[in-house]
Structure 1
Amino acid sequence: KIRPSKSNDTLRGQHATVQPFSDEDASIETLSHCSSFSDTTSVADEGGEANEDAAEEDFQYKLKGFIDSTVDKSAKTRQGALDGLKTAMATRILYEFISERRMTITDSIERCLKKGKGEEQRAAASLACLLCIQLGSGIESEEVFKTLKPVFKNILADGSANIQVRQAVATSLGLCTLVAEDDIMDVHATMECFEGLFTRSYVKEDGTRPAMGPQTTQLHTNALLSWALLLTICTASQLKDILHLPKLPMLLESEDVNMRIAAGETIALLFELARVMDSEFEFDEWDDLCDKLSALATDCNKHRAKTDKRKQRSVFRDVLKAVEEGDFQSESIRFGTERMTIDTWVRKRTYDAFREFVGSGMNYHLQANEFIRDVFELGPPMLVDSATLKAMKISRFERHLYNSAAFKARTKARNKFRDKRVDVGEF
């Protein structure tokens, strides 16, 4: 199975130890099986083992119905079935159920990708990733990916295919490769496919920018992000060849804010990886790059939207620190009774990639999905007993009462201050 190089393992596990905490705002929601099916969320409270077994049986019956409906004649029905399976896989651990039916689900995904259109193909591409996330790294996900990889690559290379479908495939192919590819050389080949797309956004030799619409730019952005994701599992020898990409900073000049941000974060990731391999790493165009990053971190161009500028400045302040000082703005992720620190660009890119598919179920997967916990080196899933759950429920209620009282007090104080009609001239 593919494992990151030793240097990258160091990045992922630098501060990956799980730290239990007793804060009152521990998320109780992620301690139960999240599901969009309301009749299965409160089984334990409503009725004993019999009710729990019945609810689980009903839930699996619905899933079987979704699987059967993925081959329905109606495109609308197929779309609904794919969405139902996506929701279930994003919010629950279904390894045993899915493992028994993985080839059936894979065949349905392949059929929808080949014969479906638009939204159906996009849903099938996302479902492929969730299927691999559920199965984890191993022979089962490898078999799934061997079936779907040629289909993904054909769609990605087909200039006549729906552009939004190609965008979805670019993202899905990246994560599926991370999870299920068993040959590092095949990883490199897939990266070359992505590189063949996003390099089309480079400034031309005559200094002009290629003319392309926003949808094509988004395709190139997705390809760049997937390429960056696969950088995190490259060997040191491969990285030495890949790191010499003097043209990558050209993407910082893109008119599209998402492309600029993707390029900036990828550059920060490249610098981080380079410095792990060689603490004396130097970049020939370092001064010019820092000037570009500094300009984006303080961008005041009037023709750009305020929200875009605000988002861009925040990201590029962090990117500039990464390039100049090798610094990273750490972020703490809380889930259940645990917390994880995102303290490197490698971990950030990996976390963002998984979260794109599981969405609000990410905290639940961090707590219960053995594969994702292994990726972030969190150890085996922690079990929480009923007494702890009850204590956490009480503390959350108490915190709610405290916050309500504090809100009322603030409101009264502010109203009192406003009534004074302070003379602005005194300040």
Structure 2
Amino acid sequence: MSGLKSRERKSNAAAAAAARITADMPSAAGRRGGQNDDDGDDANGEDHQGSSAKQSNKRNARRGGGGRAASVDDSDDDASSVTSGRSGAMSDDEDAGSGEPEHGASAVESHLQQVLDALRERRSILRSAGLSKLIQLLQKFYLPAVFATHKVSLLDGIEKCLKGSEDNIRATAASAVTLVVLQLGSEVSGELGDIITALRTYASAAATNSSTRAACVAALSWTVFITSEDPTEVTSTMQLAQELFSRAQHQTEAQLAQNGQAHTVSDPDMVAAAIVAWGLLLPRVPSTARIVELSREVVRPLTTLLASSDHHIRLAASETLAAVFELGRALVDATVAEGGRSKSFDSHFQVDDICEQLDALCSDSVKSRAKAERTRERSVLRQVKDTLEAHEGVEETVKLLKERFVVDTWESFNRLNQLRAILHSGFQPQLMSNPLLRDMFDLSPVANDAADGGRNAGDDKRNKAAYFAAVSKARSMYRNKNRDRRQASKGRVEDDDE
């Protein structure tokens, strides 16, 4: 009975420590001066979650009979290392501080130090909480100087979590690798050798679950895309991705031959991630002839996967197929214009059959999926069909704080959607201040108001709002004064009449 109570106290203490790690992260909305209302809502939601976590910690402490102190007394075999005391003390100091949270590089650095302490913990729940908080910091803030100072310890902690035995921690660590690479760029290219090897291993391991393999494939593709200058590494990563979704192609073909319709393939998340990864790396192939050759090889697998029953696989296959045709046509046309003898890119495929398949998918009336999901898929499929049939490209206008740009190629469109999925609410702030992301879309250098997180623009907005508020207040006071004067005058006239 005493052993059961001891284990319960340890579990409660670990949960309380994990909640302290993830609570009270500095809000990016305050630092950016209110430029993005969505980010402010996210920050408010995190503060609410932090307060709920504190209340839960108090309840756990009462049930566990002493909370963190009990865990220190009972830490014989699998207790946390000494760093848990430091991370807990840091959280307690922050909770006991003033009501106004800190913002800026110093606050982020203090939270980053807390993350590093959590990554050294022996308990998986604390390491997972540290990785989650690290992902939030990397999404919301672009502070390469702060993260570069601790890059060795940071990558070492991520690598240990990546090579751990739990799939959920491994998937979170892979997502953190992607964000670190987007934050620091080629500056970390020399420290990623072991991490890239681990990502390749787990991406191709059949025993790993689908979501973890998908995260590893995505992290591997972005790491190679940003940091690698070796053409062999690029093509080998593309070959790995093609092998992964080619297995799904064979499964789909077998199902179509047997039943006339395709069912769910194994590891659908991984298959969709592999298709997207292959499309991301295609423009990095240095040889034009090799790009055209790879594009021709992949058209049949992608066309087959359009018949998959998985929504994400169909979207990934259609968007990558449009990018392949767009890039292949441009390169072949350029070769013909230079005097080379070459057939058109479309002559190697039955484009009309592919368009008929896309048209059938656009008119799909299956009600088992959400309406918004079906609407978005139909919109993308129609755009892909227009690209294949009428050579029309995709176009989307992205509006930032004081600038806007147009995405008019499938390559940029797919990359934009991937970054949105990776950065979430931090997409716009990162795109305004991160030179690496701006170079991907051929944007101008970082503007001054974007470099300081949009605080100047926020001040201008607040000053303008304060001015109009003062004018409105003065107008209201003037009208109220005149209204009182008219009412008083009207009262005197009525008294005289009586």
Paired amino acid for 1:390: D
Deviations 1:83-140 (A, max 9, x none): 111111111112112212212111111110111413211111011011111111x2x2
In structure 2, C-alpha distance between the alignment counterparts of 1:269 and 1:320, rounded to whole Å:
12
The one-letter code of the counterpart of 2:162 is L
Change (3 A) 1:32 1:221: closer
Match of 1:234 in 2: 285
Q: What residue in structure 2 maps to residue 295 of structure 1?
A: 360
| Alpha carbons of structure 1 residues 109 and 387: separation in structure 2 relative to 1, 3 Å | closer
Matched, 1:177 2:224: yes
Q: Gaps spanning 5+ residues in structure 2: where? A: 1-32, 48-99, 334-343, 470-498
Moved more, 346-355 or 294-303: 294-303
Provide closer, same or farther for how the CA distance between residues 303 and 105 of structure 1 changes in structure 2, counting only shifts above 3 A: closer
> Matches of 1:239 and 1:156 in 2, distance apart?
24
Q: How many Å separate the matches in 2 of 1:345 and 1:399?
A: 44
In 2, Cα distance between equivalents of 1:109 and 1:94: 19
Are the structure 2 counterparts of residues 334 and 396 from structure 1 closer, same or farther at C-alpha, using a change threshold of 3 Å? farther
Secondary structure in structure 2 of the residue aligned to 1:161: coil
Structure 1 residue corresponding to 2:296, chosen from 244, 249, 252: 244
- How many equivalent pairs are there? 361
Is structure 2 residue 286 aligned with structure 1 residue 221? no
Which of 154, 159, 173 aligns to 2:201? It is: 154
Over 3 Å counting, the alpha-carbon distance change for 1:58 and 1:266 in structure 2 is closer
Deviations 1:312-371, CA, capped at 9 Å, x for gaps: 211111110111122123111112211121111010111122222211111011110111
Secondary structure at the residue paired with 1:289? Answer: helix
Q: Distance in 1 between matches of 2:263 and 2:468?
A: 52
More helix by share: 2
Among 29, 33, 36, which residue is 2:36 paired with? 29
Q: Secondary structure at 1:247's aligned position in 2?
A: helix
Q: 1:330 aligns with which of 395, 416, 424?
A: 395
Per the TM alignment, residue 213 of structure 1 is displaced from its structure 2 partner at its CA by 5.1
Per-residue Cα deviation, 1:40-76 (whole angstroms, up to 9, x for no partner): xxxxxxxxxxx99986434312211111210101111
52 and 165 in structure 1: CA distance in 2 versus 1, 3 angstrom threshold = closer
Residue 207 of structure 1: aligned partner = 257
- Indicate yes or no: 2:311 matched with 1:311: no
CA separation in 2, counterparts of 1:59 and 1:353?
25
* Counterparts of 2:195 and 2:127, CA distance in 1: 18
Return the alpha-carbon distance in structure 2 between the equivalents of residues 222 and 286 of structure 1. Answer: 25
Single out whichever of 229-238 and 184-193 deviates more from structure 2. Answer: 229-238
**Taking structure 1 as the reference length, what is the TM-score of the superposition?**
0.76
Q: Residue 434 of structure 2 corresponds to which residue in structure 1?
A: 369
Compared CA separation, residues 397 and 366, structure 1 to 2 (3 A): farther
Q: Aligned with 1:299: secondary structure?
A: coil
Cα distance between partner residues in 2 of 1:396 and 1:227:
48
Q: Structure 2 vs 1, CA of residues 114 and 394 (structure 1 numbering), >3 Å: closer, same or farther?
A: same
1:34–1:361: 8 Å Cα contact kept in structure 2? Answer: no
What is aligned with 2:310? 256
CA distance, structure 2, for counterparts of residue 397 and residue 266 of structure 1: 49
- Match in the other structure for 2:460: 391
8 Å contact kept, 1:142–1:182: no
Q: Tell me the distance in 2 between the aligned counterparts of 1:189 and 1:87.
A: 31
Q: Which moved more, 1:204-213 or 1:318-327?
A: 204-213
* Structure 2 residue aligned with 1:348: 413
CA–CA distance in 1 between the matches of 2:258 and 2:382? 28
Equivalent position of 2:188 in the other structure? 141
2-structure distance, mates of 1:95, 1:65: 18
- State the partner residue of 1:281: 345
The answer to whether the 8 A contact 1:175-1:353 is kept is: no
Q: Relative contact order: is structure 1 or structure 2 higher (C-alpha 8 Å, sep ≥ 6)?
A: 1
Distance in 2 between residues matched to 1:150 and 1:166, nearest whole Å: 14
Q: CA 1:160/1:386 → structure 2, altered by over 3 Å: closer, same or farther?
A: closer
Distance in 2 of aligned mates of 1:212 and 1:184:
36
Cα distance in structure 1, aligned partners of 2:364 and 2:308 = 14
Distance, in Å, in 2 between the alignment partners of 1:391 and 1:302 is 49
**1:30 and 1:141, CA in 2 relative to 1: closer, same or farther beyond 3 A?**
farther
Q: Which residue number corresponds to residue 77 of structure 1?
A: 126
RMSD of aligned residue pairs (Cα, Å): 3.2
Q: Unmatched 5+ residue regions in structure 1?
A: 1-25, 39-50, 401-427
Of 172, 194, 215, which residue of structure 2 is paired with 1:123? 172
Q: State how far apart, in whole Å, the 2-side matches of 1:300 and 1:397 are.
A: 52
SS, match of residue 68 in structure 1: helix
What secondary structure is seen at the aligned counterpart in 2 of 1:243? helix
Question: Given the superposition, is the C-alpha separation of residues 254 and 180 from structure 1 closer, same or farther in structure 2, using an over 3 Å criterion?
Answer: same
Structure with bigger gyration radius: 2
Distance, in Å, in 1 between the alignment partners of 2:303 and 2:325 is: 12
What is the identity, as a one-letter code, of the residue corresponding to 2:168?
A: E
Conserved 8 A contact 1:34-1:91:
no
3-state secondary structure, aligned to 1:333 = strand
Out of 110, 116, 121, the residue aligned to residue 67 of structure 1 is 116
C-alpha separation between the residues in 1 aligned to 2:403 and 2:258? 50
Output the amino acid matched with 1:107. Answer: D
* Structure 1 Cα separation of the partners of residues 111 and 121 of structure 2: 15
Partner of 2:242: 195
2:38, 2:425 within 8 Å by CA — same for their partners in 1? no
Summarize deviations over 1:125-168 as a string: whole Å, max 9, x none.
Answer: 011011111111x2x22123322110001111211123321121
1:360 to 422, 425, 428: 425
Which amino acid counterpart does residue 230 of structure 1 have in structure 2?
L
Name the aligned partner's letter for residue 241 of structure 1: E
CA distance in 1, matches of 2:230, 2:312: 31
